[in-house]
Amino acid sequence: MVILKNAQEIQAVSEACKLSNAALWSVESYMQPGVTTKEIDHVLHKFIVQAGGKPSFLGLYGFPGSACISLNSEVIHGIPSPKVKLKEGDIVKVDVGAFYNGFHGDNAWTFQVGKVDPATVRLLKETQECLRLGIEQAKPGNRIGDISHAVQSHAESFGYGVVREFVGHGVGRKVHEDPEVPNFGKPGRGVRLVPGMILAIEPMINLSGAGVKQLADGWTIVTQSGSNSAHFEHTVVITEDGAKILTVK
């Protein structure tokens, strides 16, 4: 069931989103060779807790970290580890949420470590464009499929693979609410968008092939092709004038 938010609830989600966004960008300077993914997770955890919030993902469905930190061919749900060190040329997907005053915020970004190969840089650029185009379609009267189609058509125009097994979602008192927001689909299909909906739109795009698989840790999702994958996410609210991004400073 889709839960529409009133003005007070939208303001509360907005505050949680600002915290999750501030936490996300607090680790930008840590994207250096030799830094472990566990160190990044610790910084995120400390930032959120000191601001009076709780990491949304810690313990969610049993997840052991405060954030999902995924490298290179890891698509999502990477477990922070003291054994995994960043190296030159890596891309690092940080997906973090913050629970604050009863509501969640959720966002993700793919960071670069030093000099990254041109094909991957292009993948990141076009995945960000997928996100922008998806958000552009998040307006009253449109449907979820309009968002999905905008993401899919742009990604596939470059020959990229669009992950199908994992999708965006509603956000509110729970970090994952209805409706689901796939990154593939047909325009004019799915739930109709109305003011008061809050959605996490999050393209997950592979450099080669759409297929993914889960590692033995039970969490980490990687590309079947072994190619790099990009992930960007914003939480937005549908207003009378279109989508307003909440995961901003």
CA gap 206, 40 in Å, rounded: 24
Per-residue pLDDT tens for 127-144?
999 999 999 999 999 999
> Alpha-carbon distance 91 to 94, whole Å?
10
The pLDDT value given to residue 113: 98
Domain ranges of the chain: 7-245
Q: Does residue 179 contact residue 190 with C-beta atoms inside 8 Å?
A: yes
pLDDT of residue 95: 98
Q: Who contacts 117 (Cβ-Cβ below 8 Å, separation ≥6)?
A: 89
Q: How confident is the model at residue 127, as a pLDDT? A: 98
Instruction: Note whether 67 and 41 are within 8 A (CB).
Output: yes
Give residue 163's pLDDT: 98
pLDDT of residue 249: 86
CATH architecture of 7-245: Alpha-Beta Complex (3.90)
| Threshold 0.95, pTM exceeds | yes
Residue-level pLDDT at 62:
98
Any bridge partners for residue 198, and if so which?
A: 237
The tokens for 36 are 């472990």
**Intervals of the chain under pLDDT 70:** none
**CA–CA separation, 223 and 225 (whole Å):** 5
